């Protein structure tokens, strides 16, 4: 037996005497799935928040947890816990800048003799007002640029309050068109390829035009399409309710909601537009 062996035995005896592992309590409980889901939800809804900001929000709600736990949850989910992860989503950007955005896009219509014609429309995100810039069978770059010039000269839209124009990358939208809008202070944002949600409001307008009027009408020619769209957009801006405007039409949203009345005490008059496709209702005088 060597002295080293004797000392090793002694160390083991000392370690065994002072071993309290059997008395240890369980460690910190794991974070619940609901809390993890909440952390990830807050991170997704607020791209600019880092783990410290998210931790502060949970603390404000009354949930006690370490900031390092939030960091680990984000890191394990593949999300950068740093404050600057990604920019805002298109949905967040459109919602935040709605008052300063207009969007432009083409819609196509096949006439009764299968000739395809195009209409260029513009939608104001904030007020939900829609405008028809023109109708043509040959939407070239010069035609689109001239239609934009005419619109900017004739429209009653408050250009000073607009900052962005969203458009797609079609060949009709040229650098000359961008220059026309840049001259009045608008910054042109080109929609990413195959991402219609980047111009979601204008896509929704085009869908509404198809569902409510174009799919229910046989279009004869350019003149007929222009007259039909002009009539419908008057209804769209002056009568059709919008959920984004608390079920008011754009004209009512600008002038203020109507005075509350009891419909049982009034007669309601119906007017068919355009061409009897859609009904409008007004209080009979």
Residues 162, 191 within the same domain: yes
Residues 73, 97 within the same domain: no
Which domain does 53 fall in, by range? 32-87
Residues 242, 104 within the same domain: yes
Is 281 among the domain residues? no
Mean pLDDT of 115-123: 95
Residues 49, 125 within the same domain: no
Strand 268-273 relative to strand 187-190, pairing:
unpaired
Residues 73, 99 within the same domain: no
Residues 240, 117 within the same domain: yes
Residues 62, 143 within the same domain: no
Residue 85 has pLDDT above 70, yes or no: no
Is 262 among the domain residues? no
CATH label of the domain that carries residue 210: 3.30.420.10
Mean pLDDT of 121-139: 93
Least confident of 102-106, 168-172, 176-180, 274-278: 274-278
Query: 42, 64, 87 — which closes off a domain?
Result: 87
156 band by pLDDT with thresholds 50, 70 and 90: low
Give the chain's mean pLDDT. 85
Can you say how many angstroms the Cα of residue 140 is from the centroid of all Cα atoms in its chain?
A: 29
Residue 84 has pLDDT above 70, yes or no: no
Mean pLDDT of 49-57: 85
Residue-wise pLDDT for 63-79, tens only, equals 888 888 988 898 888 88
Residues 184, 124 within the same domain: yes
Is 235 among the domain residues? yes
Residue pointed to by tokens 């910190």: 28
133 band by pLDDT with thresholds 50, 70 and 90: very high
For the chain, percent of residues with pLDDT exceeding 90: 32
Is the whole-model pTM more than 0.85?
no
Residues 182, 78 within the same domain: no
Is 129 among the domain residues? yes
Top mean pLDDT of 1-5, 75-79, 143-147, 183-187 is at 143-147
Mean pLDDT of 165-173: 90
Q: State the pLDDT at residue 88.
A: 64
Is 278 among the domain residues? no
Residue 47 has pLDDT above 80, yes or no: no
Query: 46, 68, 87 — which closes off a domain?
Result: 87
Q: State the pLDDT at residue 10.
A: 72
Mean pLDDT of 197-206: 88
Q: How many domains does the chain have?
A: 2
Mean pLDDT of 160-165: 84
Residues 76, 98 within the same domain: no
The torsion defined by the Cα of 147, 209, 189 and 48, in degrees rounded to 10, comes to 160
Is 22 among the domain residues? no
140 band by pLDDT with thresholds 50, 70 and 90: very high
Query: 72, 87, 102 — which closes off a domain?
Result: 87
Residues 74, 99 within the same domain: no
Mean pLDDT of 43-64: 83
Is 67 among the domain residues? yes
Residues 205, 124 within the same domain: yes
Is 99 among the domain residues? yes
Residue 91 has pLDDT above 70, yes or no: no
């Amino acid at each position: 037996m060597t002295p080293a062996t004797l000392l090793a035995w002694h160390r083991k005896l000392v370690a065994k005497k002072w071993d309290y592992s059997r008395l240890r309590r369980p460690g910190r409980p794991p974070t619940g799935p609901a809390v993890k889901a909440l952390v990830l939800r807050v991170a997704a809804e607020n791209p600019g928040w880092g783990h410290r900001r998210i931790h502060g929000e949970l603390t404000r709600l009354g949930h006690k947890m370490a900031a390092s736990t939030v960091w680990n949850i984000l890191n394990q989910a593949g999300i950068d816990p740093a404050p600057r992860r990604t920019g805002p989503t298109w949905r967040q950007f459109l919602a935040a800048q709605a008052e300063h955005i207009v969007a432009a896009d083409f819609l196509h219509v096949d006439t009764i003799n299968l000739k395809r014609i195009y209409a260029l429309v513009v939608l104001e995100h904030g007020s939900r007002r829609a405008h028809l810039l023109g109708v043509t069978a040959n939407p070239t770059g010069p035609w689109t640029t001239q239609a934009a010039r005419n619109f900017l000269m004739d429209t009653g839209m408050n250009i000073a309050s607009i900052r962005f124009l969203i458009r797609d990358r079609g060949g009709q939208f040229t650098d000359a068109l961008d220059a026309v809008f840049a001259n009045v202070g608008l910054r042109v944002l080109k929609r990413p390829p195959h991402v219609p949600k980047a111009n979601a409001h204008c896509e929704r307008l085009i869908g509404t035009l198809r569902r409510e009027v174009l799919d229910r009408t046989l279009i004869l020619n350019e003149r007929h399409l222009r007259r039909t769209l002009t009539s419908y957009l008057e209804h769209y801006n002056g009568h059709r309710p919008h959920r984004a405007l608390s079920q008011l039409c754009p004209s009512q949203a600008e002038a203020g909601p109507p005075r509350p009345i009891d419909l049982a005490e009034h007669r309601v008059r119906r007017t068919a537009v355009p061409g009897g496709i859609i009904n409008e209702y007004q209080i009979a005088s």
